[in-house]
Copies of this chain bind each other. A is one copy, B any other.
């Protein structure tokens, strides 16, 4: 196959079978990305692809797979299905036919299959789901948001280093400000693991700002928040829930009576701006950092817009060669200027070392 570069642009393989609203919303999202110039190839069951694309009047390129992984299917089971849409999509990347995979499917299976087929970046024990979220002054990158419910100090250090490099390369911030999620801003707050990680991160040559609390997701005071996948997931979903509840209340209040409706009409542009600013769907999916190729995991509840944004993110990461550059920055000679030594040092540091 010679799909890559057909339009001078990296090919993004999209798993059509994954997600609560698959295949329709995923197909719509892929078509949306295609219209914005992304080079997309769909992967799914032939009958689903055929009827879906026919229904939407699209002729996007597609590759067939014989199986679909269920949203709640155990990873061990998913790994045995060699011809699942997710597995076929990953193989397209392994063979060089595509540059990245986007899936809104089963997160455990996404992590498991990506690790199995692609392996991990040298120096990384446990890959993490990271994601950009809106903050007061732009966005904040949070990792891990769900891959590792339990972590060791060394995992948190590796997340900090991957987050540092990702934000530096993807956003062009020279020295990203890194923080550790805890239940209080003082160094003394947190679990034993968090307290030890705080101590270890202070010894690294990164701009470590200490502990932050859950409300810091929006404060804009740091660029990267490092956490275990359990509390990271709680952090992100709680903020999503609050935003969705408040917008729901606003909507019902503004439809309450005639005066409200008239006033609300005048404020529509203002509310649209606020919603766009806060809307988690605008922020695309979660890159799986630490595996050796580009994988974007969309929220299972993703609708078309979120899928489109995830595909755009995948294309940006591929164009910027972000995963290979993170690998280089982490380990090899000739890495990103100035960053290599301190990161190599960081990765070799374990709790108790000085």
* Central interface residue in A190, A234, A263, A273, by most chain B CB within 10 Å: A234
Nearest B residue to A193, CB-CB: B150
Residues on the B chain within 8 Å of A213, using CB: 233-234, 237
Q: Contact flags (1/0) for A232-259 with B, using CB distance below 8 Å?
A: 0111111111111111111001101001
Contact B263 A238 (CB under 8 A): no
Task: Tell yes or no: A44 within 8 A of B by CB.
Answer: no
Q: How large is the interface on A (under 10, 10 to 19, 20 to 34, 35 or more residues)?
A: 35 or more
Nearest B residue to A181, CB-CB: B234
Task: Tell yes or no: A316 within 8 A of B by CB.
Answer: no
Within 8 A of B (CB), among A193-225: 194, 213-219
Q: Provided the pairs A234-B231, A234-B234 are in contact, do residues A150 and B260 lie with their beta carbons within 8 angstroms?
A: no
- Shortest CB distance A303–B (Å): 16
Count this chain's copies in the assembly: 2
Q: Provided the pairs A238-B217, A254-B270, A270-B256 are in contact, do residues A149 and B245 lie with their beta carbons within 8 angstroms?
A: no
Task: Tell yes or no: A325 within 8 A of B by CB.
Answer: no
Contact B190 A149 (CB under 8 A): yes
* Central interface residue in A146, A245, A246, by most chain B CB within 10 Å: A245
Q: Provided the pairs A191-B230, A230-B231, A238-B238 are in contact, do residues A136 and B215 lie with their beta carbons within 8 angstroms?
A: no
Task: Tell yes or no: A278 within 8 A of B by CB.
Answer: yes
Residues on the B chain within 8 Å of A150, using CB: 191-192
* Central interface residue in A189, A194, A215, by most chain B CB within 10 Å: A215
- Shortest CB distance A256–B (Å): 7
Task: Tell yes or no: A72 within 8 A of B by CB.
Answer: yes
* Central interface residue in A146, A218, A243, by most chain B CB within 10 Å: A218
Contact B262 A266 (CB under 8 A): yes
Interface residues of A (CB under 8 A from B): 72, 74, 136, 146, 149-150, 181-184, 186, 188-192, 194, 213-219, 229-231, 233-250, 253-254, 256, 259-260, 262-267, 270-271, 273-274, 277-278
Q: Can you identify 13 A-B contacts, CB atoms within 8 angstroms?
A: A183-B234, A213-B237, A215-B237, A217-B241, A238-B238, A238-B239, A242-B243, A242-B246, A245-B278, A246-B247, A253-B274, A259-B266, A263-B263
The 6 closest A-B pairs by CB, nearest first: A215-B241, A214-B237, A263-B266, A242-B242, A183-B233, A214-B238
